[in-house]
Chains A and B, each alone.
Chain A
Amino acid sequence: MFTTGTKFLIGASVVSLLATLIYGIGQDGVLGTVGLASATVGLIFLTSVNAILRDSNVFLDDEAPVESTAAAQPAPGASVWPLVFALGTVVVAVGLITYQPVVVIGLIALVVAGGEWAVQAWSERASSSGEHNAEVRSRVSNPLEYPVGGAVAVGIIIYSFSRVMLWLSKTNTVIAFGALAAVVVVVAFALARRPKLNAGAVGGGMAIGVVALVAAGAVTGADGERDIPEFETTSIWQEEAILHPEEYAEGAAEGHHPEGLICESPEAFPEADENASETVAIKSSIYEVVLNDSGTLDYDVPGVVGTSTAVMSLPRSNPTNVIFRNDSDEERRLSLDVGTMTVEIEHGEEVEEVEARNQICTTLIEPGGAQLLTFRVDEPTFAFDGQPNPNGPDDAEGFWFFVPGVDSAVLEVYVP
């Protein structure tokens, strides 16, 4: 039997359907027809819902047992998952027109909410006991919820930490987190001394701490990292001189740096020579090239006796580690000249091909100091047969280690 409401909706649906037909045939406006058709569909939907749901309500004069009606069933508990699911849908939609990561976040929300919702819906039908149903739900979901939730929480905390650390200056990071660590220790001691402290208060305090940390992470993360200076290297200066000769010469004229290629210069290039990255990778069994105080270069294979010769031969296309030790009493750099290379210099649209020396060098090393030079030579020595090397003794052919400013310090390198 239809209730009054249902009857009203049936009527409205019929009127709407008729109106759609008449309007659609009579006028040929598409928009209006679409509007009316939509209204019709909506009304039919509402009618059905009402007919099925409301009409199953119990009437006072009904004889059916009250417990078996839908209205008498305990309502399912409030659930957040449909909400999250809906949010996820919106996020996906927003992501589709903005950024891909947003889609991913939306999809994750959809999968998580969908899964949880499904498990919850299923568990609510497990039995008539609400308590039992909740337990069933936990048993299925918790093994996933706890580890994943924990990992996400820890991830967020770590990420927040890292944002704060990268935002603070190098020194302040040390101070701030030193202090934080101290606080953690003190609190831990306090808790250990007084185990009966109010659990709520402790939990609250911790929650505030976490929220503060995440908030700080969000703020500092949005503000960006501190400036991490990229130190100039000798290679950068070498390249600069070859690729932008005019600007480079200008800089030299204005006194920003000495003239000429850094690898051929005995002078200090403050940026590259003094602020160079301080890390030296220690690799095993390197070659050692020593500048003696008599002004000659010698090489040695550490640990291997009796293998030093006039020529140092190195495998081709293989990274080689050479440690340069300056035993002279002046600041010196070790440079290696392995023939020429062709570089392309851009002049606006035009590209000019220029032959340049293929060189690599250490920074200026103080007396007694050492530095590692790692390089790889891809062309053999014989590829430059007949081409004098301006850095070899008397322009000799071949590849040479040399020390700018010390003419006698040369060592031939042979690459087969």
Chain B
Amino acid sequence: MSAPNHDRTKRRDSDTATSVTAVISKISRGRAAKFTALAAAGALVAGCADNAPQDTFQPEGTNAQLIDDLARPVFYIAGLVGIIVMAVIAWVVFRYRDRGQPIPEQTHGKPALEIGLTILPALILIGVAIPSVGVIMDLNETDDTECVVNVTGQQWWWEFDYPVQDGCVDGGITEPIVTSGQMVIPADTNVLIRGTSRDVIHSFWIPALNGKRDMVPGRVHNLRMQANEPGIYAGQCAEFCGLSHANMRMEVAALTDDGFAAWVDNQLEDYTPPEEGSLAAEGEAAFVANCARCHQVDGLEDADGVPQVARPDEQVYSGAAPNLTNLMTRNTFAGATFDLLRDECRDAVWEAPSDEFTDRYLEGVTDDCFAEVDLREWLRDAPAMRPMYADPEELEPTDGLYRGMPYLALSEDQIDQLLAYLLERK
């Protein structure tokens, strides 16, 4: 490349200058092209996913709709502004590229333009701010609540507890219900989450139903939830919370009013002990011996008729372990990370049309549909399934308390018994 021979380049060492630019442009042309192509392809492919349950652009409830109605126009306007800016830059770069022409006269300041370019963005931002503030206010309404659910995050699963209340269902909820992993709500009902955490900050986020909200120890934060139609809506913890943050998921299952009433009745049913002499009965004994110190099963008694009161606060750092009374009414476990249903049964629930969803969900985990592999593996060695602080040798920082479920050294026979017992918990 020869140095153009004019004023400007004369002042510097033209040889090195141009050869360096030449090299740079050679590298970056090749790389930039590849990178742009890849990025474009990535963006395209991501946009194509039709089965993306955590897509923020597919609102399924009034709250998410509010956000969508705000975000979309803003996104379009911002996109348009972005395109205009890029286009102008591209035009300037091309139009005034270095063709060897002399440097034009340099001027300083152009008040009219500067003031104009300050006022225009300010106006755009005000235009965005007014509806934003309105939506923020709407999303914080609590006085149209029809149902309250206490949501508590802990490493690395969510607990849902339905306090005694007049709302949620005809006749109200007469005794508290405690469940985990899947939050069941009546569809088309304004549910208010009162959320907190037992250990570190987590964030509750069901993209199809609302934005995310941090759940902070010692504080209670409200979050509205409403699903237009029955169905299941996936989400995940959105605030880094330690080892298994990536495996801390949750789902909201919205049922018809009747379906929800049936669910509530079932949750509050009295405990049915396994048939005497069955494998499950042996499982009950194994559960009392190995699990009941952490996991509550309401109504469970030991062989002498002593009610089993779980004391997870003496075992687990957060002070809680999932209540397993009705484990098989939910279809995922351990932070909604693993399935309790075989693939085809899971699809039947997840992809059910909304008018059939409630019935399919309420079937829970049937004998035929039970995907026992993951649960068996979990009982064999839970910490091997997902990272947790469960090595007894390394619990000094928590005074011997686990974070997660520890390895319990169960025999295969015990696991068979426990699986038989757990399969009846519904």
Q: Smallest CB–CB gap between A387 and chain B, Å?
A: 12
Q: A-facing mask of B143-154, CB < 8 A → 1, else 0?
A: 111101010100
Tally the A-B contacts, defined by beta carbons under 8 Å. Answer: 97
Contacts of A303 in B (CB 8 A): 142-143, 222
A283-B219, A285-B194, A315-B152 known; A306-B161 Cβ under 8 A: no
Contacts of B145 in A (CB 8 A): 304-307
Stretch from B91-99, B305-313, B362-370 contacting the other chain: B305-313
A416 touches B192 (CB 8 A): no
The main secondary structure of chain B at its interface with chain A is: loop
Q: Is B111 an interface residue (CB 8 A)?
A: no
Contacts of B161 in A (CB 8 A): 313, 315, 416
A313 touches B152 (CB 8 A): no
In whole angstroms, what is the CA distance A82 to B336 when docked?
66
Write the chain B residue with the least CB distance to A385. B307
Q: Is B221 an interface residue (CB 8 A)?
A: yes
Q: Is B296 an interface residue (CB 8 A)?
A: yes
Q: B-facing mask of A280-295, CB < 8 A → 1, else 0?
A: 0001111000000000
| B interface residues with partner A (beta carbon < 8 Å) | 142-146, 148, 150, 152, 159, 161, 163-167, 172, 175-178, 192, 194, 196, 198, 217-222, 296, 298, 307, 309, 311-313, 318-320, 323
| A interface residues with partner B (beta carbon < 8 Å) | 283-286, 301, 303-307, 309-319, 321, 376, 378-380, 382-383, 385, 414, 416
Q: Which of A283, A310, A317 contacts B198 (CB 8 A)?
A: A317
Contacts of A414 in B (CB 8 A): 164, 175-176
In whole angstroms, what is the CA distance A226 to B26 when docked?
73
In whole angstroms, what is the CA distance A378 to B148 when docked?
22
22 sample A-B contacts, Cβ–Cβ < 8 Å, listed by A number: A283-B219, A284-B219, A284-B220, A285-B219, A301-B194, A303-B143, A304-B148, A304-B194, A305-B143, A306-B146, A306-B166, A309-B164, A313-B163, A315-B161, A317-B312, A318-B196, A318-B320, A321-B218, A378-B319, A379-B311, A416-B298, A416-B323
Q: Smallest CB–CB gap between B264 and chain A, Å?
A: 14
B311 touches A378 (CB 8 A): yes
Q: Smallest CB–CB gap between B166 and chain A, Å?
A: 6
B166 touches A307 (CB 8 A): yes
Write the chain A residue with the least CB distance to B163. A313
A283-B220, A321-B220, A383-B307 known; A416-B320 Cβ under 8 A: no
Contacts of B148 in A (CB 8 A): 301, 304, 307
Write the chain B residue with the least CB distance to A381. B176
In whole angstroms, what is the CA distance A301 to B323 when docked?
25
Contacts of A314 in B (CB 8 A): 163
